[in-house]
């Protein structure tokens, strides 16, 4: 009998999470209620930011960040090519152009070098934002990226769905991803594969009260209540969206957030077990490179595999893993290769992104994995590669 398939990632929902949702369902508010603010406060405190604004999902968080910065059609936003589609698409939602940055082929991250190179391709467009992605959960080199962005007249917006719980050490200071000390905003997602889950859900953190207020207005149709106005009165200075995260999902988020220390510790322990178990598979299999400053809570257990040296293909390995009950995924197909972006910007030469894409594979990593699962995955990988 075959064992159940281990997915590359999945949520951990426990009885008290279910009880928290049931309690919210019995309350007076299904959507805009007190749990929204409670979740926002707890989240801001967890990541060390002054403000957190909950929203419908991570993509909405990115869109709101572009709107809050007032990014205009024809302006430019820099995003790495190795990321989920949404990081680039949010610029297009406001009519801005995406300038794709290359990534380091070993870590998959945008670096100061790849950002500097992307800055040479602005072609006269005004740069408004640079969107570093803490791919897999490892932190980008934020101080250097922020300095380059500032020199170019832009701000950082960290796309941080992979990095909830990650800390980084630049010089002597330890910082938490999401505390936005180098950036205008950071965005998060609570999709089921991410570190905490609400089904759909997202968050923007910022230390700027005016940006936080703008995010709140834009997330609910652009409606404001003029001070002293009649009780039924609202005004819309500019149209926004319905990007609210309902009270009932914020109840789930609040319950999940309490478990972050436990989820993080489990992810760290599993990642450490992987590093040890994978070591004998070098040099054909190597874990993604960890930058010196990064103390990650990994979202993805990404490895780089020299399929050619093993005399096989990624497709064959993915299928062989699946036959042994091991799910895997590729994070990511370079976004600049998508038909839409090729049509817009033509073929780009981003060798770091291509090299990363040629070798990357994400293995199962989530808190609910059993202790023996890492050995099982690595044994399956070893067999699939004929090592
Ligand atoms: C998950 C994710 C998003 C989008 O989040 P959704 O909640 O699915 O909309 C954006 N960027 C990155 C890097 C992600 O991993």
Q: Is 164 in the same domain as 295?
A: no
Q: Is 343 in the same domain as 223?
A: no
Q: Is 299 in the same domain as 366?
A: yes
At residue 189, the pLDDT reads: 98
Q: Is 233 in the same domain as 379?
A: no
158 within ligand 1 shell (Cβ under 6 A) = no
At residue 15, the pLDDT reads: 97
Q: Tens digit of pLDDT for each residue in 279-305?
A: 999 999 999 999 999 999 999 999 999
Q: Is 121 in the same domain as 75?
A: yes
Q: Is 123 in the same domain as 252?
A: yes
Final residue in a domain of this structure, among 209, 226, 257: 257
What is the total count of domains within the chain?
2
At residue 3, the pLDDT reads: 62
Final residue in a domain of this structure, among 202, 234, 257: 257
Q: Is 194 a catalytic residue?
A: yes
**Two structure tokens written together for 176:** 């938490």
Q: Is 51 in the same domain as 72?
A: yes
Q: Is residue 144 part of a domain?
A: yes
Q: Where are the beta strands (DSSP E) in 171-315?
A: 173-176, 185-189, 202-206, 285-287, 294-295, 301-305
331 within ligand 1 shell (Cβ under 6 A) = no
Does the pTM surpass 0.75? The reply is: yes
84 within ligand 1 shell (Cβ under 6 A) = yes
Q: Taking a C-beta distance cutoff of 8 angstroms, is the pair 224, 233 a contact? A: no
At residue 173, the pLDDT reads: 87
Span 332-349, mean pLDDT? 97
Largest CA distance in the chain: 74
Q: Is residue 110 part of a domain?
A: yes
Alpha carbon of 7 to those of 11, 332, 340, 363: distances in Å?
10, 17, 29, 8
191 within ligand 1 shell (Cβ under 6 A) = yes
Residue 2 pLDDT exceeds 70: no
Q: Tens digit of pLDDT for each residue in 164-185?
A: 999 999 988 899 999 999 999 9
Q: Is 250 in the same domain as 280?
A: no
Q: Is residue 139 part of a domain?
A: yes
Q: Tens digit of pLDDT for each residue in 63-88?
A: 999 999 999 999 999 999 999 999 99
pLDDT above 90 coverage of the chain, percent? 95
Q: Residue 331 belongs to a domain with what CATH number?
A: 3.90.1150.10
Q: Is 71 in the same domain as 160?
A: yes
Q: Is residue 287 part of a domain?
A: yes
Q: Tens digit of pLDDT for each residue in 195-212?
A: 999 999 999 999 999 999
Ligand 1: which residue has its CA nearest to atom 4? Answer: 58
Q: Is residue 9 part of a domain?
A: no
Ligand 1: which residue has its CA nearest to atom 7? Answer: 58
Ramachandran assignment for 108, one of left (phi > 0), alpha (psi -120 to 50 degrees), beta (any other) = left
CA separation for the pair 108, 154 (Å, rounded): 23
- Phi, psi at residue 312, to the nearest 5°? -145, -170
Final residue in a domain of this structure, among 231, 257, 283: 257
Q: Is 3 exposed, middle or buried (0-12, 13-18, 19+ CB in 10 A)?
A: exposed
At residue 1, the pLDDT reads: 45
For the chain, what is the mean pLDDT? 97
Q: Is 216 in the same domain as 363?
A: no
User: Which of 189, 241, 334 is the best mutation target for the ligand 1 pocket, counting ligand atoms within 8 Å of the beta carbon and taking the most?
Assistant: 189
Host domain of residue 43: 15-257
Verify cis geometry, omega within 30 degrees of 0, for the bond prior to 283.
yes
Q: Is 75 in the same domain as 203?
A: yes
Pairing of strands 173-176, 76-80: unpaired
Q: Tens digit of pLDDT for each residue in 259-268?
A: 999 999 999 9
Q: Tens digit of pLDDT for each residue in 111-166?
A: 999 999 999 999 999 999 999 999 999 999 999 999 999 999 999 999 999 999 99
């Amino acid at each position: 009998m075959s064992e159940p398939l281990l997915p590359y990632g999945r949520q951990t929902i426990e009885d008290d999470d279910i009880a928290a949702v049931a309690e919210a369902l019995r309350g007076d508010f299904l959507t805009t209620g007190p749990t929204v603010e409670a979740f926002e406060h707890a989240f801001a405190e967890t990541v060390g930011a002054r403000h957190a604004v909950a929203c419908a999902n991570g993509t909405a968080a990115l869109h709101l960040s572009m709107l809050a910065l007032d990014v205009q059609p024809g302006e430019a936003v820099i995003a790495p090519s190795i990321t989920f589609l949404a990081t680039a698409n949010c610029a297009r939602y406001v009519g801005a152009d995406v300038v794709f940055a290359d990534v380091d082929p070993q870590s998959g991250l945008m670096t100061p070098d790849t950002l500097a190179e992307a800055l040479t391709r602005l072609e006269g467009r005004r740069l408004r934002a640079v969107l570093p992605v803490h791919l897999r959960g490892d932190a980008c080199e934020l101080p250097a990226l922020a300095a380059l962005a500032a020199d170019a007249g832009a701000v950082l917006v960290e796309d941080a769905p992979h990095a909830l719980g990650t800390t980084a050490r630049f010089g002597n200071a330890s910082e938490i991803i999401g505390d936005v000390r180098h950036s205008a905003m950071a965005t998060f997602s609570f999709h089921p594969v991410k570190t905490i889950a609400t089904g759909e859900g997202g968050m923007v953190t910022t230390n700027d009260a005016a940006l936080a207020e703008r995010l709140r207005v834009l997330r609910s149709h652009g409606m404001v209540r003029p001070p002293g106005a009649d009780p039924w009165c609202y005004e819309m200075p500019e149209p926004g969206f319905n990007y609210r995260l309902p009270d009932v999902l914020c109840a789930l988020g609040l319950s999940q957030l309490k478990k972050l220390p436990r989820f993080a510790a489990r992810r760290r322990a599993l990642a450490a077990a992987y590093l040890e178990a994978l070591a004998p598979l070098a040099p054909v299999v190597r874990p993604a490179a960890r930058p010196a400053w990064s103390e990650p809570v990994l979202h993805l257990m990404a490895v780089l595999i020299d399929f050619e040296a093993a005399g096989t293909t990624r497709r064959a390995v993915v299928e062989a893993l699946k036959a042994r009950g091991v799910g895997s995924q590729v994070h990511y197909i370079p976004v600049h290769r998508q038909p839409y972006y090729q049509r817009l910007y033509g073929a780009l030469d981003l060798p770091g992104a291509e090299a990363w894409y040629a070798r990357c594979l994400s293995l199962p990593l989530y808190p609910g994995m059993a202790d023996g699962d890492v050995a099982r995955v690595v044994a399956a990988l070893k067999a699939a590669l004929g090592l």
